[in-house]
Chains A and B, each alone.
Chain A
């Protein structure tokens, strides 16, 4: 009954072109045990991917690797990383019996919802990416976020994959249940000096904690240049070289996390050739460097939601400066406090300036840029008007938009209508 009602709501909300979580909400209300029932007895278990940055990209990469190995994988690809988003995407695939037919589930969940999910379904594996300042409205403090991840690790039954270089995460090793296997992903010591640009400083008291020495089960990223890299396991074993479609160090670290987790899940079934082929084919998820053809010129959409993410994005795209727009909203999903913009340095935009700022906090963004001596040509609060002006005034050149979550959703709807793009959050199938 709940499944049928949810399926109906799913069809209804698609016809309306509405959000992806509504059908899940319907089922969550009608049958709170839906999740437990649907995910029971998947032969290869239930994997939860969480952390502040890189959830969507890493989930996508891990799913691609597993599918390349012939597994049927259930996932929540819409970036709808609350429990009811998971239920919504599940409704497309469960028969009316309510039991999911898949080998394994790989689910992206935000830190708070990962715990809520674990109270219904104990994950067999969890992949904990990192802890950074994000949406302090909701999580209040970094220490609290770290605690949520540790509690998820405690509830995981078989294996936990941890970020070796993020001390908020690596120290969680001491919190897992007896018999649960811990492996790590991280970076090769030769590039450790690049980590501060990605990470939050841990200002807690010294407590004698030292991250463990990596073993042959742990994957370490070794880049060759800005695009190509390999992942090393111990001194003999390596996966790569490979080149991703998505640029930047953060994407390579996500790939390292995905490969390390896939190896742990697949054991002797893991095939290097399949892992590399899958990763090299993964398209950047929407808003994470997705490129749209706008009247014959590339338009990149880059989601920014916290200081670490925005800093990484500016670093990643700084090598190829193009005409830039920045759209900042302050709805709940964006983070209502825009103070974090002052923890990002915008000097890399100084040479070319910024064509346009937009969104509810367009003037705050322009003001922020003024304090870094970055010229702003125009401010337009209305996103649709701003987009139209941006596309028209800079028609014959490559363009880039940095945007917060709800600004991205609004821009995407507009762009989808204008250029006939795939449905929201779904990859165009060839």
Chain B
């Protein structure tokens, strides 16, 4: 297929990196949500899946990654190192990215295993993760620039932000980056890292649309013109979780 859909306000390239190895907790739902919302807003989403060993898709407007298990993480390590320069220059250039859980850790400076081994990340986010015997598991509510955000965390890594690194949100319920400093996730430019599954975007449409706005402005070079979307179900799902968890 070539050429845009006749009624489309523009074509947006969404790249999901490592969907096979790193999307164990439903994180593909983020890609699904963005593709649906782009369509509902009147844009034309084109979803690319990037697998280890393939060439990285050109013209990425939005890059997504998810969580995996240790074996999946090991499996993508080489490809990520190979494409680190591409991703770093996309990030520096203002491309919107959302990295969840395992990919959030790999976008940091390093992951230090329980045994003390240092596995390098690609250093887009100024965070370092320490492996832990104890898992941080459970529902989460955050306060963020996009209002209350709900999700579900399930990680054994404990992440520290370097001085000056902005978090994605402040923990109102749950553990967050490390269970002690109330921070959750990290934001540098338009790159967002977070531990939240759920998946994150369907129940938090304001944040989803913020990513879409960034991607659209980059792709078509014009301001984002939102369509009308009925988010009643998302709002109900989210506010009910907030009410259950935060008192």
In chain A, what residue has the closest Cβ to B24? A133
A342, B27: Cα distance in complex, Å: 8
The interface residues of chain A lying within 8 Å CB-to-CB of B21 are 203
Are B138 and A367 in touch, CB under 8 angstroms? Answer: no
Are B20 and A201 in touch, CB under 8 angstroms? Answer: yes
> Of residues 199 to 216 in B, which have CB atoms within 8 Å of A's CB atoms?
199, 202-203
Q: When each residue 312-354 of chain A gets 1 if its CB lies under 8 Å from chain B and 0 otherwise, what string results? A: 0000000000000000000000001111111100000000000
The interface residues of chain B lying within 8 Å CB-to-CB of A337 are 25, 152, 154, 197-198
Are B152 and A204 in touch, CB under 8 angstroms? Answer: no
Q: When each residue 350-382 of chain A gets 1 if its CB lies under 8 Å from chain B and 0 otherwise, what string results? A: 000000000001011011101100001001000
Q: Smallest Cβ distance from A425 to chain B, in angstroms?
A: 29
The interface residues of chain A lying within 8 Å CB-to-CB of B20 are 201, 203
Q: For the complex, is A143 an interface residue (Cβ under 8 Å from B)?
A: yes
In chain B, what residue has the closest Cβ to A367? B233
Which residue from B29, B71, B135, B138 sits with its C-beta under 8 Å from A336?
B138
Q: Smallest Cβ distance from B244 to chain A, in angstroms?
A: 8
Are B154 and A371 in touch, CB under 8 angstroms? Answer: no
A402, B70: Cα distance in complex, Å: 32
A316, B194: Cα distance in complex, Å: 37
Are A342 and B199 in touch, CB under 8 angstroms? Answer: yes
Q: When each residue 137-180 of chain A gets 1 if its CB lies under 8 Å from chain B and 0 otherwise, what string results? A: 10011110000000000000000000000000000000000000
Q: When each residue 18-36 of chain B gets 1 if its CB lies under 8 Å from chain A and 0 otherwise, what string results? A: 0011001111110011001
A347, B28: Cα distance in complex, Å: 16
Binding site for A on B (CB under 8 A): 20-21, 24-29, 32-33, 36, 68-72, 74-75, 135, 137-139, 152, 154, 156, 197-199, 202-203, 233-234, 236-237, 240
A-B pairs, top 10 by smallest CB distance, nearest first, are A342-B29, A339-B26, A342-B26, A363-B237, A363-B236, A141-B69, A367-B233, A337-B152, A339-B197, A204-B71
| Contacts A/B (CB < 8 Å), 12 sampled | A140-B135, A203-B21, A205-B74, A337-B197, A339-B198, A342-B28, A342-B29, A342-B202, A363-B236, A367-B237, A368-B29, A376-B233
